[in-house]
Structure 1
Amino acid sequence: MSVDTTTEELQADSDEAASEDADRGRGLILIVDDDRNHAEGSRDVLEMVGFRCDVATSGAEGISMLSQRQYDLVLTDLVMDDVDGMEIIRQAQQINPFVAVVVFTGHATIETAVEALKRGAVDYLVKPLNIEGLRVRVERALEHQELVRVNRELEERLDKRFGFEKIVGNSEPMRKVIELCKQIAETDVSVLITGENGTGKELIAQALHENSLRKGRPLVPLNCAALSPQLVESELFGHEKGAFTGANFQKKGR
């Protein structure tokens, strides 16, 4: 039986993600700005349209608050006396890869805007901030980051479902093999796969590899029956120049 997923199942995943998003409210925002009046003014504007906001009046305080709560968006000044906005971007993404960061400054240049976006900011605003413009840009940044989060979660679910889609079989023994492979794929054990020619041993090995903790490392298929013991050892572990007849160069193992 081919391991597959239906349109209804994918829709259920989207509905579940949307439900989780609704539970989060309009988003929790951290405003980092050493200009207290500007920070509190931005907070008041955003809270009026339903966002929940915390204020940090220094970069160091902002980093401390980032480690204590999981924010959906960080709105940070770029130029501050202690820790600048570039460092806030780095720290925020290190603590929470899904957080959206929007930077603002009264000293705007094309170079600083480009650099902030390269570092991972999703938008760049110039003081003084327009009330409606601030609301729109914050909503846009949150929507973008939420799409990134939902897509990542769906990709992870699909990876788990589709690891065995190349294995076709509807017999009870084959279903048992696939279920067993799913159970052992994430364990750190040695696996011996036996079977006659054409029964899918290499497909099973590939599926196990794709669902294992080593999926980012090479999978090296070798037909050991067609190679001498010396060549098998050389293919797997490499050899030094002159190790045997014909070894004219050093070869690294796989």
Structure 2
Amino acid sequence: MPAAKKKNPTDSADLPIRVLIIDDDEAHGQTVAECLERAGSECTVAASGQQGAQLIESETYDVVITDLKMEGIDGLQILRKAKEELPDAGVILLTGHGSIQSAVTAMQHGAYTYLLKPLDVKELQDAVIHAADRLRLIRRNQELRRQLDERFGFEGIIGNSPQMQQVIERLKAVAPTDASCLITGENGTGKDLVARAIHQNSNRKSKPFVPINVAAIPETILESELFGHEPGSFTGATTRRIGKFEYANGGTLFLDEVGEMPLDTQVKLLRVLEDRKITRLGSNEEIPVNVRLIAATNADLKTMVEEKKFRIDLYHRLKVVSIRLPSLRERRGDITLLMDHFFRELSEKTGKECQGFSKAARQIMMKYHWPGNIRELRHTIEAMLILDIDGLLDVDDLPMELRESVQGESEQLPVESNIGTEHLIGQTLEDVERYYIQRALELAEGNRQEAANTLGISERTLYRKIKDYGAEGVKP
């Protein structure tokens, strides 16, 4: 029979443990159920292997308890079925003394444990609890992995603009490789997020991702942080220290603000990248390391090379693949996407119930030049949510300097940008609408999403009207 749709499993410790008991001695199966129900489990009893197999196909259980010797479908077949349908569930086999070898064989094929008949009630209850705890730990780890994938996977990089689509395509190409990457871009553009996304989508994702901000570490201890040290290697070094390279072995090391690295440390870093070996300070022993390096900077390394402030050989070693992240003002079409994303995320974080952004606030935020890029946008929305008192993020919730900046720019606009509308008197509604669509597209420099936000309509509606009216300057 076709398998019925399973219920969604839960890992909540507050819910009872769901147990399936399969025993062709129905009276014995009911006795086992009663013992477990007294301890708070939720039990289902199947009186045959066939009935148990059908339940495994259609339901979800935390623990499966099955008799080893049964007519028809026996305990070993139930084990195989459970591993196919409920791979994380714990399977406990019940067996007599004469079948211990078969139970041990089952353990080798994935059974959680086996219990000898006659059953000890306390042993049975403890085995079920431990099997369920193991399952919940597996599910928590899976959920953490899902959250990591969601946050640092490519879907966590928000942007529909052509610039960001090019970045994402480049990331997809480089992530599965071991190539060194150099990520460039202004502060706040998300270089750390991109580095984590590369790691999370690589074959190294189960190994450590180790970030280190070069600019935040004094020059005197930077080499110790990177390569480690032995006791007595310098004043104050009383114990052995494992460096970041050694700690990241098998995984990814992310050097943020790599342009701040001193020249003598650059020499040692280059040697490590070429030899794949590190030597702790105060030691002569070379230690092999297998580390993928991702570096990031907001500095112009090429200019620094010309000025002899950065080694040209290290520069080329780091930029096997170079990824430049555009500033937010270069990808204005993504601002509303990011605003809505941060609004949802931060509303949940702050616990504030809010309708969203007013049209006026959206317009100002779209016009602002965002020198702090994505980081500044996120912090601005967080502050707006915290300070809001009326349930709507409006102009009065925006930081004063942001409002003044946009207003100052508006005052400097040429007179032509505020063309009078007297000529629209006597025109048809269609002509008036066409005029305002055209003006919105001009002010948005052809960006349909920004123009739609200004007009207070959806991008789909604007697209349709462009086709209907044949607005100039933008292709539908």
**How do 1:55-66 and structure 2 match up within 5 A?**
55-66=45-56
Asked whether the equivalents of residues 76 and 103 of structure 1 are also in contact (C-alpha less than 8 Å), the reply is: yes
How far residue 72 of structure 1 moved from its aligned partner, in angstroms, is 1.0
TM-score w.r.t. length of structure 1: 0.58
Structure 1 equivalent of residue 18 of structure 2: 28
Structure 1 equivalent of residue 168 of structure 2: 181
Classify 1:41/1:79 alpha carbon distance in 2 versus 1 (closer, same or farther; 3 Å).
same
**How do 1:130-141 and structure 2 match up within 5 A?**
130-141=120-131
Larger relative contact order (Cα-Cα within 8 Å, sequence gap ≥ 6): 1
Structure 1 equivalent of residue 69 of structure 2: 79
Classify 1:146/1:20 alpha carbon distance in 2 versus 1 (closer, same or farther; 3 Å).
closer
Q: Cα deviation per residue 1:150-176 (whole Å; 9 max; x = unaligned)? A: 112212322444458xxxxxxxxxxx7
d(CA) in 2 for partners of 1:144, 1:210: 25
Question: Which amino acid is 1:121 matched to?
Answer: A
- SS of the residue aligned with 1:30? strand
The unaligned stretches of length 5 or more in structure 2 are: 1-9, 155-162, 175-180, 185-190, 206-476
Q: Cα deviation per residue 1:40-80 (whole Å; 9 max; x = unaligned)? A: 10011111121111111110010011112111110001111
In the comparison of the two structures, how many residue pairs are matched?
176
How far residue 180 of structure 1 moved from its aligned partner, in angstroms, is 5.8
How far residue 177 of structure 1 moved from its aligned partner, in angstroms, is 4.0
RMSD across aligned positions (CA): 3.9
Instruction: Identify the match of residue 52 of structure 1 among 15, 26, 42.
Output: 42
How far residue 37 of structure 1 moved from its aligned partner, in angstroms, is 1.4
Classify 1:177/1:75 alpha carbon distance in 2 versus 1 (closer, same or farther; 3 Å).
same
d(CA) in 1 for partners of 2:134, 2:73: 26
The unaligned stretches of length 5 or more in structure 1 are: 1-18, 165-175, 192-197, 216-254
d(CA) in 1 for partners of 2:166, 2:66: 49
d(CA) in 2 for partners of 1:206, 1:132: 47
Question: Which amino acid is 1:22 matched to?
Answer: A
The structure with the largest alpha-carbon Rg is 2
d(CA) in 2 for partners of 1:138, 1:205: 42
d(CA) in 2 for partners of 1:200, 1:118: 47
- SS of the residue aligned with 2:13? helix
Asked whether the equivalents of residues 108 and 126 of structure 1 are also in contact (C-alpha less than 8 Å), the reply is: no
Structure 1 equivalent of residue 300 of structure 2: none
**How do 1:164-175 and structure 2 match up within 5 A?**
none
d(CA) in 1 for partners of 2:145, 2:106: 28
Structure 1 equivalent of residue 139 of structure 2: 149
